[in-house]
Amino acid sequence: MIDIYSWTTGNARKVYIMLEECGLSYTAHPINIGKGDQFKPDFLKISPNNKIPAIIDQDGPGGAPYSMFESGAILMYLADKTGRFLPADARARYTTLQWVMLQMGDVGPIFGQAGHYNDKATGPEHAHARKHFVDDGLRLMAVLDKRLSESPYLAGDDITIADFLTWPWCREPESRGLNHDDFPAVKAWFAKIGARPSIAAVNELCEEVRAGREVRRVK
């Protein structure tokens, strides 16, 4: 059983999608970041950077509980635990990890800032920052689009953790000043993954979590 302490944002959804795709049993514990739950001492013990998502695997390495923060690390851990969505073959593995790192280091942070300046800090005094981050977001969308026009998934022929990490950040592009219509390969990939049963399950889960309800899913 995996306990996940999280909310309903893009970074939260990455882990929920992976848990659903791997068929793992889990309990989702709401951490309402709008109300400051991420600063509570018990949460900081497992996530010292005061950010969701965090997990505790009750059956961690060596059979003892193991806690983790950072979504990219969590997906790599769950992939190794289950043998799913991160190839063992060296070339395929490192190809996947390159797209994982691009999401963690670039797509997430830049799309996040583009969203902030496009949707929240909307005043004229932020025009320079808004253009900077939206332009870089557009550049990154073009990188993803080129890749996805050449291969069905980010790491190649098979779906991997790179897709599960990147997909949630491609939701609600308008809030970041982006438009899927300008990036047809991203649009097709986004729809293809969006049709997977895991996404519907996660949408339903997020409704419960947003309402502050703990959700236990036993597979």
Ligand X SMILES: N[C@@H](CCC(=O)N[C@@H](CS)C(=O)NCC(=O)O)C(=O)O
Of residues 3, 18, 57, 71, which one binds ligand X by CB under 6 A?
Answer: 71
- Give the interface segment with ligand X, choosing from 47-55, 117-125, 180-188, 207-215 (CB under 6 A): 47-55
Nearest Cα neighbor of 17 from 209, 191, 197 is 197
- Measured torsion, CA atoms of residues 171, 174, 178, 181, in degrees rounded to the nearest 10: 80
4 in contact with ligand X (CB under 6 A): no
Answer whether 6's CB lies under 8 Å from 52's CB. Answer: yes
Q: How many Cα atoms occupy the beta-carbon half-sphere of 94 within 13 Å?
A: 2
67 in contact with ligand X (CB under 6 A): no
- Beta bridge partners, 78, equal none
- 154-173 binders of ligand X (CB under 6 A): none
The b/e string for 183-204 (b: 16+ C-beta within 10 A; e otherwise) is bebbbebbeebeebebbebbee
In the three-class reduction of DSSP (H, G, I as helix; E, B as strand; rest coil), residue 156 is classed as strand
9 in contact with ligand X (CB under 6 A): yes
- 76-105 binders of ligand X (CB under 6 A): none
- Give the interface segment with ligand X, choosing from 48-56, 57-65, 182-190, 199-207 (CB under 6 A): 48-56
110 in contact with ligand X (CB under 6 A): no
32 in contact with ligand X (CB under 6 A): no
In the three-class reduction of DSSP (H, G, I as helix; E, B as strand; rest coil), residue 68 is classed as strand
38 in contact with ligand X (CB under 6 A): yes
Total residues contacting ligand X (rule CB under 6 A)? Answer: 11
Of residues 1, 27, 46, 50, which one binds ligand X by CB under 6 A?
Answer: 50
70 in contact with ligand X (CB under 6 A): yes
58 in contact with ligand X (CB under 6 A): no
175 in contact with ligand X (CB under 6 A): no
| Alpha-carbon separation of residue 157 from 5, 96, 148, 187 (angstroms) | 32, 11, 10, 17
Residues found near ligand X in the complex (CB under 6 A): 9, 11, 33, 38, 50-53, 70-72
